[in-house]
Chain A
Amino acid sequence: MSAEMDSTGILPGEVTAFLTDSTLCIGCKACEVACKEWNGIEADGLELTGFSYDNTTALGHSTWRHVKFVEGTPEPGIGGNHPGKISWEFSSDVCKHCEVAGCLEACPTGALVRTEFGGVFLQPDICNGCAYCVFACPFGVVQKNEDDGRAFKCTFCIDRQKAGLEPACAKACPTESIKFGRLEDLRDEANRRMDILHSRGMSDARLYDPVDTSVKGTHAIFILRGEPEMYNLPPHPEVPTVYLKEGWKSAAIEAVAMVAAVAASFLVWGKSQRNGQG
């Protein structure tokens, strides 16, 4: 298979996105494997968590795709739990590449940049590991690798996108649960898919695309079954820069008060002091 055949035809300047459809996910973790192999990320180790088949639990510096296994409360049946009634969903999580990204705003070095495809890219040759981006992310995605000393997150396979290829996870997904394309196209496709799912009676299917929040939408949108809370997705993600004005205003008032207090006390009590001492 040659690279030309796979070409996405998406040119720099166009905004790309992921549409991750959990109703098509089979929980195979091919996306995790493909991501690690393509990007050369270290292994997470083999630790069994007991949370269904999820043994990585969250996105992190070495986990840029993470398949969630959303296993609900079992319902009793004959001889144990009812085998047909267990709610069990899979969903592959990824960096949301926010329209207004907390990590990108917070980064003091300019290591985090907006790419020509609209994604958020962390340049590992610039990052100095200040770790401020880590708690500026409302989705808990970016993390510092303590051994390496720098922060890491999904690159949106910018290297592949530049070459006209789709990201490794999307390429390796066997059921097209992970779709890659232009954001606008994928939003349309997601809406069509929602209509289909609802017409089939899957009334709990929903689209997770937080456009009406301060992150102003994401470049990774999700079709989920059930509440976003079950998938550890915040119902109202907030970019922390919205607090800046309030914080700096308070800081400015206190700073002026501090200078005034210093000036006043030395003006009134400072002179008498030295004079008194002679």
Chain B
Amino acid sequence: MNQLVKEEVREERLDAIREEAEARGSMGSAGIRPTGSPMAVASPEAGYYGQPLLKEPQWTPLIPVYFFVGGATGALAVIGSLADVLGGDEELARKARWMALGGTAISSALLIADLGTPSRFLNMLRVFKPQSPMSVGSWVLSGLGASAAASSLADLLEDEAGGNGAVEFLRAAGRAGCVLFGMPFHNYSGVLIGASVIPAWNSRIRSLPREFGMAGLQSAVSLLELSGEIDNDALNVLGLVSAVFESWEGIDLLRTRDRRLRPAKRGLSGLLVQLAGVFSGPVPIALRVASLFIKDRRVRQLAAVSGILGSLLMRYGWVSAGTASSRDWKIPLQIDGPAKRLDSRAEDEATRVASV
């Protein structure tokens, strides 16, 4: 009953707002504007006072770290599942599996810490939505975590109790899961940001998953090398493959003339993206090739450090490029720069005069 009375009062309040607005709310005239003052206007050229149309991504600086750790984790899970069966390298595979397990734990912690309401992180697993890369990613992370845990548990059991059928089954299941979930986990972050309204990101929807994925492989390789596998040839080849790919992507980015990509080329975000390209492309290529001739382990170590730095910078660069891109109101409003428009008109005029 009390509730009903309260609702009645609130209904009356809305009527009162309307009556007051009717009596006193009409705007008489625009504000005072001195002639020729450089005041912002709303027009088909200036948009709405140049106010951003899109909202800025509200991610904390933990998210680029999450992308970095996630990329490396996915690739480590794949390496850990294939290096022993295909390469017979039991020691390296085991190490990669343990690192992948640690990676899934760190990834989860970073993802949860970024949430506005971390206590509700399990709500991510309330539903599965294939149309939401965030939902797919949460499930893939869960699946990879379970698979990496199964693999490492099999390793532990083998050490403690020796191998048996159950341990082999656990290892096989973990191995299959690590490859299955490691594949999407090492590059889904590219799809995650690419399938958004941010112009700089969705203009690179095709290349971001490739670029992030190869950066994930490179950081996985580099982390393994720094953990002591510095003389492994297979890792050096994989490092070279990803560095060559990143160089190609970097050249492709520079060659693509697109207004939407301006934040990836100019300003602080542009500097980060470009530096990332250098540290994950040409620098590791040079060092890795040099390591074939120079028998100094520090050359390989430097290549690994450069690869890790490049992968990390790449994520920071692209996330900050997205933030800068969201502020560019002209792109979603499909407005060319007014100055450019005037120039082209003047050029048209000039050519017309000249031809006459």
- Residues of chain A at the chain B interface (Cβ within 8 Å): 1-3, 6, 26-30, 33-34, 37-38, 49-54, 57-58, 60, 68-74, 76, 80-81, 83, 86, 88, 90, 102, 105-111, 126-132, 134-146, 148-151, 165, 168, 171-175, 226-227, 229-232, 234-238, 240-241, 243-244, 246-248, 250-256, 258-259, 261-263, 265-274, 277
On chain B, the residues within 8 Å of A252 by CB distance are 183
Asked if A274 contacts B197 (CB within 8 A), the reply is: no
Which of B119-127, B152-160, B282-290 touches A?
Answer: B119-127
Other-chain residue from A57, A72, A165, A240 in contact with B197 (beta carbon distance below 8 A): A240
Asked if B186 contacts A258 (CB within 8 A), the reply is: yes
Asked if B14 contacts A172 (CB within 8 A), the reply is: yes
Asked if A258 contacts B197 (CB within 8 A), the reply is: no
Q: How many residues of B contact A (CB 8 A)?
A: 111
On chain B, the residues within 8 Å of A52 by CB distance are 30-31, 42
Asked if A131 contacts B87 (CB within 8 A), the reply is: no
Asked if B183 contacts A256 (CB within 8 A), the reply is: yes
On chain A, the residues within 8 Å of B335 by CB distance are 229
Asked if B44 contacts A128 (CB within 8 A), the reply is: no
Can you offer 17 A-B residue contacts whose CB atoms are under 8 A?
Answer: A34-B14, A68-B42, A110-B127, A126-B120, A126-B123, A128-B117, A137-B54, A138-B197, A144-B58, A229-B333, A232-B53, A243-B195, A243-B202, A248-B209, A258-B183, A262-B82, A273-B87
Asked if B117 contacts A129 (CB within 8 A), the reply is: yes
A38-B14, A230-B42, A258-B75 known; A244-B30 Cβ under 8 A: no
On chain A, the residues within 8 Å of B48 by CB distance are 51, 68, 70, 229-232
Min CB distance, B21 to chain A, in Å? 4
Asked if A130 contacts B35 (CB within 8 A), the reply is: no
Min CB distance, A251 to chain B, in Å? 4
- Residues of chain B at the chain A interface (Cβ within 8 Å): 7-8, 10-15, 17-22, 24-27, 29-31, 33-35, 39-44, 47-49, 51-59, 75, 78-79, 82-83, 86-89, 92, 114-118, 120-121, 123-124, 126-127, 129, 131-135, 137-138, 179, 183-184, 186-188, 190-192, 194-198, 202, 205-210, 213-214, 216-217, 231-235, 237-238, 241, 322, 326, 329, 332-335
**CA–CA, A248 and B136, complex, Å:** 11
**CA–CA, A149 and B60, complex, Å:** 12
A71-B42, A235-B334, A270-B83 known; A250-B25 Cβ under 8 A: no
Asked if B124 contacts A109 (CB within 8 A), the reply is: yes
Asked if B124 contacts A30 (CB within 8 A), the reply is: no
Min CB distance, A64 to chain B, in Å? 14
A150-B117, A235-B333, A240-B197 known; A76-B205 Cβ under 8 A: no
A108-B135, A134-B57, A266-B89 known; A227-B205 Cβ under 8 A: no
